[in-house]
Amino acid sequence: MDVFEALRTRRSLKPEHLLPDPVERAKIEQVLEAANWAPSHGLTEPWRFIVFQGDARKSLVATVVETMVEDGQPPLPVGDPRRTSVEQKMLRAPVTIAIVCAASSSPKIIEHEEIISTGIAVQNLHLAATAIGLGGYWTSGKKAFHPKMAAFLGLTPPARCLGFFYLGYPKGPIPAGTRKPWQDKVSWVESDE
């Protein structure tokens, strides 16, 4: 598959659209290598990935459940519908990758550039996954940004979690995508007049 086809056919496939079948480590390594070729200002390479497979996903899910409760409140009991929903969703995909931005502490590097570079690394990962027949989905929100998640992942500032990428084989056909015309989103400046 060439890069243009991968760009056109890449889709965000939520965990319920992925098979539970294990993904070969060589394929996971292949998409992580693609991520590693993202550009970064100052050659900082701020992206970091923590791969969860098998039973290790359960400890990640448990931490997500902890982020759903305010400090001082009792934990969500087993059987609570909110807890059950998170467990079912997060354990569907055979691979969950924590997306981390370990921003440079150099005053010459602006943090948003590091976050953008990490996002580009994830796009590379997703395109490579598409090219080799895998599907994926980037999710974020409170669960990713919570201090309990940072502690669980072993992160110290300025490093922070930007979300999670679910990875697996697509359950069915990849849906067709649509975009508004690119020409409607581009302005041309060809003269200083």
pLDDT in tens, 73-104: 888 888 999 999 999 989 999 999 999 999 99
Sheet holding 95-101, edge to edge: 47-53, 95-101, 160-168, 135-139
Q: Can you point out the beta strands (E) in 31-171?
A: 47-53, 95-101, 135-139, 160-168
Architecture of domain 3-185: 3-Layer(aba) Sandwich (3.40)
Instruction: Examine the pLDDT at 183 and tell me if it is beyond 80.
Output: yes
pTM, two decimal places: 0.93
Q: Which residue has the tokens 């969950």?
A: 96
Indicate the domain borders of the chain: 3-185
